[in-house]
């Protein structure tokens, strides 16, 4: 009792191969683009994790942090 496939929904081997080739070409372009991005990223200077974006920024002391937190809690 299997249904006959609708011939309009069938894909020929030629169509399948064309789709596969197109997908492989896109995959190759994607891979090459990704490799170029990775190479570009390797040449970007790395910023230390604790570096500041503001040259004049000074780290808060524990006392200053405690005072700021207390002020913020009073405001809420």
**Got the DSSP string for 8-69?**
GG---HHHHHHHHHHHHHHHHHHHHHHHHHHHHHHTSPPPPTT--SSTT--PPPHHHHHHHH
pLDDT confidence bin for 57, thresholds 50/70/90? low
Q: What is the pLDDT of residue 24?
A: 98
pLDDT confidence bin for 65, thresholds 50/70/90? confident
Q: Are 46 and 54 in contact (CB under 8 A)?
A: no
Give how far Cα 27 sits from Cα of 5, 13, 60, Å. Answer: 31, 21, 49
| Spatial separation of the C-alpha atoms in residues 11 and 30, rounded to whole Å | 26
Lowest mean pLDDT among 3-12, 15-24, 48-57: 48-57
| Spatial separation of the C-alpha atoms in residues 76 and 67, rounded to whole Å | 15
User: Does residue 47 surpass a pLDDT of 80?
Assistant: no
Q: What is the pLDDT of residue 2?
A: 65
User: Does residue 54 surpass a pLDDT of 60?
Assistant: yes
Q: What is the pLDDT of residue 18?
A: 95
């Amino acid at each position: 009792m299997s249904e006959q496939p609708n011939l309009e929904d069938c894909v020929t081997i030629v169509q399948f191969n064309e789709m596969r080739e197109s997908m492989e070409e896109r995959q190759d372009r994607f891979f090459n683009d990704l490799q170029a991005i990775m190479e570009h990223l390797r040449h970007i200077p790395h910023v230390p994790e604790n570096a500041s974006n503001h040259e004049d920024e000074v780290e808060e002391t524990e006392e200053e942090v405690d005072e700021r937190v207390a002020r913020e809690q009073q405001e809420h």
